[in-house]
Amino acid sequence: MSTNDDLIDRLKIDDSARESSEAGRPWLIMLFVLVFAATAIAAYVFWYLPSRALEVSLVSPVMIETGERAPVASVLDASGFVVARRQATVAAEVTGKLTEVQVEEGMRVEAGQVLARLDDATERARLELSRARLASAERTVREIQVRLNDAERTQDRVNQLRQRELVSQADLDQADTTVNSLSAQLDSARQQVQVARREVELQQQLLDELTVRAPFAGVVIARAAQVGEMVSPISAGGGFTRTGIATIVDMGSLEIEVDVNESFIDRVSPGQDVVAILDAYPDWNIPAEVTTVVPAADRQKATVRVRVGFIALDPRILPDMGIRVRFLEEREPSAGNSVQARAELPALPAHALIEQNGRDFIFIVENNVVERRAVRLGGTRDDLTLIVAGLSANERVVAQASDLDLAEGDRVRIKD
């Protein structure tokens, strides 16, 4: 009986073991799921994604000789503005009311050209009065001259009669006195004529001051006053009186003013070659040279002013334009004074370029990953666009980039 009981006990399930087995089973399931997911992700990355990557063709840049000298390294970069050495805000020499303005913005004027006229009615009346006084003085001179001529003839006759003792000495003295008196009156009248002439010249000058003329040849960049306004050489009338009529700039005197940090001023010297780039035309390299290093520093900004002159002026260069300048190191002469090496620039077909928001981009491919890069364009040669900056000769560029939807960091497959 005991033997059967032992056998029955052996057939019973151990609840503790079963609970332990059931408790460990979820962890095994979770581990299996994680291994399976990692395997699936790896398979997706290494097999499925490359098959989904965009297939692109590449183009290598073509090096083209530009016909210009090879670029020289820059020793210093700075920013400044285009300024005019000759610029004037023209005003009237006297206070008056404008009756005529003959200029507009953008008009080219010559030296001495009439710009405006002021009300001259009063000055013209005074000039006419002065001329009348001059004419009266001249008539007085002629009248006294006639009287003097008659007195001199009388003096000659009395003198002859006195020699013949036909008249008294008193008659001769009277004739002499008359001649002397008229001579003195004639001298005084002639002086009055000179005074009257000076007065006419003065009134003419005052009248001319009411006509405003250009002091030099240039271009009108601003018109500050209108017909009917009061103008004055000084501020008056509580701010309601204009002090200027127009601003003229001599476009032939344009140059660049740059403030250079005094720590780097030793890199700048007169006559040094400079490349200037206008903010308005970032692809235009303008040759220039240092004309003057102003021998004074600004203690507030710790800068020294440098003036840079353009080698050749261009109508696109305007006053007050922002400009960047690159001060170049001294170019070493080539061996045997031969022609210096010509610069070569990479060039790409137009379909490899993308324009967005006024800027140009290309897509560089390295290790099957796309890099979006900004470039600066130059001219065109044989249906190719020169790349001034942003591309080197050994880099590969996505062709037909304008037709593809690419972004920075995208993986691509290269067509054979």
Considering 208, 235, 270, which residue would you say is the last residue of a domain? 208
65 and 133 together in one domain: no
Domains in the chain, number: 4
pLDDT of residue 144: 92
How many other C-beta atoms lie within 10 A of the C-beta of residue 194?
11
Q: Is 392 exposed, middle or buried (0-12, 13-18, 19+ CB in 10 A)?
A: exposed
Contact 223, 103 (CB under 8 A): yes
Contact 381, 347 (CB under 8 A): yes
Q: How would you write the pLDDT of the chain (416 residues) with one tens digit per residue? A: 455 555 555 555 555 545 545 555 566 677 767 777 766 665 555 544 444 567 778 888 888 776 555 455 678 889 999 999 999 989 888 888 999 999 999 899 999 999 999 998 988 999 999 999 999 999 999 999 999 999 889 889 988 888 888 888 888 888 889 989 999 999 999 999 999 999 999 999 989 889 999 999 999 998 988 898 888 887 655 556 778 889 999 998 999 999 999 988 988 999 999 999 999 988 888 899 999 999 999 989 899 999 999 988 888 899 999 999 999 877 554 433 333 444 678 888 888 888 877 778 888 888 888 888 888 787 777 778 888 777 888 888 888 777 777 788 888 888 76
Considering 184, 208, 232, which residue would you say is the last residue of a domain? 208
148 and 277 together in one domain: no
214 and 108 together in one domain: yes
Asked if the structure places residue 5 within a domain, the reply is no
Three-class secondary structure of residue 273 per DSSP: strand
Q: CA-CA distance, 164 to 149, in Å (whole number)?
A: 23
Q: CA-CA distance, 308 to 258, in Å (whole number)?
A: 8
Q: Which residues make Cβ contacts (< 8 Å) with residue 378, sequence separation at least 6?
A: 66, 283, 345, 385, 386, 387, 388
**pTM for this one?**
0.53
**What are the pLDDT digits (tens) for 125-167?**
999 999 999 999 999 999 999 999 998 898 899 888 888 888 8
Q: What are phi and psi of 269, to 5 degrees?
A: -150, 150
Three-class secondary structure of residue 117 per DSSP: strand
Domain region containing 318: 74-85+252-334
Contact 61, 384 (CB under 8 A): no
Asked if the structure places residue 160 within a domain, the reply is yes
313 and 386 together in one domain: no
What single-letter DSSP state applies at residue 1?
-
**How would DSSP label each residue in 15-38?**
HHHHHHHHHHHHHHHHHHHHHHHH
Q: CA-CA distance, 413 to 406, in Å (whole number)?
A: 12
CATH at residue 301: 2.40.30.170
**What are the pLDDT digits (tens) for 231-244?**
888 765 555 677 88
Asked if the structure places residue 28 within a domain, the reply is no
CA 125 to chain centre: 47
pLDDT of residue 331: 56
Asked if the structure places residue 38 within a domain, the reply is no
